């Protein structure tokens, strides 16, 4: 099971305390000599290609960066605290607790300051007063992981999604002659002509239901709509489209959709130019599909 959404609590570091001390310049001259406090540590979220879900945040959800060090006498500045860096998988969207978008960490090593450390207090060097340090920002945020992928397979239950996924990736995920076999999204590389593309298999779409896994279509460039209804496939495709649009209309924007009729070993041909016939039993249409995918993705 992949963990694709978590709420975490962040507390950036407070600035260091200022020093309030005296500095003797001569037997008659004494001035303020206190140094400034150091800056509190930021909490930075950083995209890492070594992580593939948000599982690690189930163990620890609370993060605190260190406070800045206090200033010293003789105008000695306190040390800035080190930033706290939290690695997240590439493809993690940061949201506020109401779900509003804040930032999308799409590329390896990309960083975002999620909570800013407070500035250090100002010491009384050459002054008669000090200024208090600032607290670090405190935040509760949502990490919303959207699996990076080039193409995704979607469809109603039992239409042959995982069978096609296995065929295209040489994997052997569970296939069964009953609906709802696939419970979670899985993804793997599909190699075509020395190029690797990431393909996503999804659980079946349930009609009139939330289908939360559809959020992983956000980054797909191609979506394969699958039906095994050799007569009523148009109804299936309409139902798939309706469920996706209901979940989030953005998911179909600027996407290429290929319409696939599966289990084509059971029929001879079909008079519909918009449909690609495929069968994992006799390999019908598999090379043609790969060619179309390759043409589109390697443009």
Ligand X SMILES: Nc1nc2c(ncn2[C@@H]2O[C@H](COP(=O)(O)OP(=O)(O)OP(=O)(O)O)[C@@H](O)[C@H]2O)c(=O)[nH]1
Q: Which of 11, 139, 161, 219 binds Mg ion (CB under 5 A)?
A: 161
- In the bound state with ligand X, the residue whose beta carbon lies nearer, of 10 and 186, is 186
Which residue, 118, 110, 8, is CA-closest to 65? 118
Around Cβ 259, how many Cβ atoms within 10 Å? Answer: 18
Residues in contact with ligand X by the rule CB under 6 A: 155, 157-163, 175-177, 179-182, 204, 262-263, 265-266, 279-281
DSSP H helical ranges for the chain = 56-59, 161-169, 233-247, 286-297
- Min CB(292)–ligand X separation in Å: 18
Torsion angle, alpha carbons of 167, 169, 173, 176, to 10: -20
Q: Which does 132 bind (CB under 5 to 8 A by kind): ligand X, Mg ion, none?
A: none
- Min CB(257)–ligand X separation in Å: 17
Burial 60-92 (b: 16+ CB within 10 A, else e): eeebbbbbbbbbbeebbbbbbbebbebbbbbbb
Residue 219 lies near Mg ion (rule: CB under 5 A):
no
Angle between helices 161-169 and 286-297 (to 10 degrees): 70
- Min CB(160)–ligand X separation in Å: 3
**Using CB under 5 A as the criterion, what x/- string covers residues 177-196 for binding Mg ion?**
----xx--------------
Stretch that binds Mg ion, among 77-85, 86-94, 114-122, 175-183 (CB under 5 A): 175-183
Query: Nearest-5° angle of CA 186, CA 192, CA 195?
Result: 90
- Min CB(110)–ligand X separation in Å: 33
Helix (H, G, I), strand (E, B) or coil at 250: helix
- Min CB(172)–Mg ion separation in Å: 12
Stretch that binds Mg ion, among 153-161, 208-216, 248-256, 275-283 (CB under 5 A): 153-161
């Amino acid at each position: 099971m992949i963990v694709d959404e978590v709420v975490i609590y962040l507390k950036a570091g407070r600035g260091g305390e200022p020093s309030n001390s005296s500095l003797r310049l001569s037997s008659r001259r004494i001035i303020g000599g206190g140094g400034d406090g150091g800056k509190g540590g930021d909490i930075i979220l950083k995209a890492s290609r070594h992580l593939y879900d948000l599982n690690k945040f189930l163990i620890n959800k609370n993060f605190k960066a260190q406070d800045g060090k206090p200033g010293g006498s003789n105008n000695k500045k306190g040390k800035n605290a080190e930033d706290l860096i939290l690695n997240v998988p590439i493809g993690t969207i940061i949201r506020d607790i109401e779900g509003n978008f804040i930032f999308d960490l799409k590329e390896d090593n990309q960083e975002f300051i999620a909570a800013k450390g407070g500035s250090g207090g100002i010491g009384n060097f050459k002054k008669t007063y000090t200024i208090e340090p600032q607290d670090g920002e405190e935040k509760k945020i949502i990490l919303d992981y959207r699996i990076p992928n080039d193409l995704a397979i979607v469809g109603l239950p039992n239409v042959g999604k995982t069978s096609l996924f296995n065929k295209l990736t040489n994997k052997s995920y569970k296939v069964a002659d009953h609906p709802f076999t696939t419970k979670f999204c899985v993804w793997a590389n599909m190699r075509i002509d020395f190029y690797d593309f990431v393909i996503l298999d999804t659980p079946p779409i349930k009609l009139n239901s939330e289908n939360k896994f559809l959020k992983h279509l956000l980054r797909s460039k191609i979506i394969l709509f699958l039906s095994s209804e050799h007569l009523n496939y148009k109804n299936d495709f309409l139902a798939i489209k309706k469920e996706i649009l209901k979940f989030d209309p953005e998911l179909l924007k600027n996407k290429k959709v290929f319409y696939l009729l599966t289990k084509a070993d059971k029929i001879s041909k079909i008079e519909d130019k918009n449909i690609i016939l495929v069968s994992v039993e006799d390999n019908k249409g598999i090379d043609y599909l790969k060619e179309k995918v390759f043409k589109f993705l390697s443009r």
